[in-house]
């Protein structure tokens, strides 16, 4: 009987910890503290590799903090449910688009027209615009007008082996995104 009680206490403590960390990362995400949530998730991702809620919150936090390379591990773990697989495709698409842009702009790789899934993420918008451009000659900098709002523009260039996207609204810089 004592053994059962000890095991019950052990497992309830273990699962309470899992639930507690998921609540913590969810709270950070809801508070728009994406950098902190991404760092928290990075330190715990292997512990929660089967907790799709935790992994998704971690990945979306890293995405919102422009830490795109961290999406690779999250995408690998998201496979149990249709929603998780959909998130995995979303994260993988954005990561691939970043890698392709770096390859083209740093290495002079000439990319033939390529159709990848599109997302609403800024990197996808820029990638789609880039693919519509004539990419036979690589330039140091590209400027694109948003397909849905002509007042929004994006400037794409590389610096220190990073993809840089400057997002403008009415010629005013809103945010600079740096992806390494």
Tens of pLDDT, residue by residue over 79-92, are 999 999 999 999 99
Beta-bridged to residue 45, according to DSSP, are: none
- pLDDT-based confidence at 135, cuts 50/70/90? low
Any idea of the CA torsion for 28, 30, 31, 32, to the nearest 10 degrees?
Answer: 90
Does 35 have pLDDT greater than 80? yes
Query: Do residue 65 and residue 139 come from a single domain?
Result: no
Residues sharing a CB contact under 8 Å with residue 91, sequence separation 6 or more, in sequence order? 59, 63, 71, 72, 74, 75, 78
Q: What is the pLDDT of residue 107?
A: 86
Query: Do residue 70 and residue 144 come from a single domain?
Result: no
For 12, the domain range is 1-80
Q: Which of 80, 97, 127 is the last residue of a domain?
A: 80
Does 126 have pLDDT greater than 80? yes
In the chain, the number of structural domains is: 2
Query: Do residue 126 and residue 60 come from a single domain?
Result: no
CA distance 68 to 101: 13
CA distance 133 to 128: 9
Could you read off the pLDDT of 5-15 as tens digits, one per residue?
232 333 333 44
pTM as predicted: 0.81
């Amino acid at each position: 009987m004592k053994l059962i009680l000890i095991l019950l206490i052990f497992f309830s403590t273990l699962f309470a910890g899992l639930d507690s960390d998921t609540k913590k990362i969810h709270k950070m995400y809801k508070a728009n503290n994406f950098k902190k949530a991404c760092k928290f998730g990075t330190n715990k991702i292997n512990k929660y590799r089967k907790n799709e809620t935790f992994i998704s919150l971690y990945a979306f936090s890293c995405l919102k903090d422009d830490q795109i390379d961290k999406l690779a591990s999250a995408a690998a773990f998201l496979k149990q449910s249709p929603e998780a697989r959909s998130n995995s495709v979303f994260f993988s698409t954005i990561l691939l688009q970043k890698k392709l842009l770096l390859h083209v702009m740093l290495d002079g790789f000439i990319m033939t027209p390529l159709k990848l899934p599109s997302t609403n993420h800024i990197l996808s918008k820029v990638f789609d615009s880039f693919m519509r451009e004539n990419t036979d000659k690589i330039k140091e900098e590209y400027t694109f007008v948003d397909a849905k709002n002509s007042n929004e523009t994006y400037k794409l260039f590389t610096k220190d082996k990073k993809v840089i996207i400057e997002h403008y609204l009415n010629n005013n810089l809103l945010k600079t995104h740096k992806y390494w």
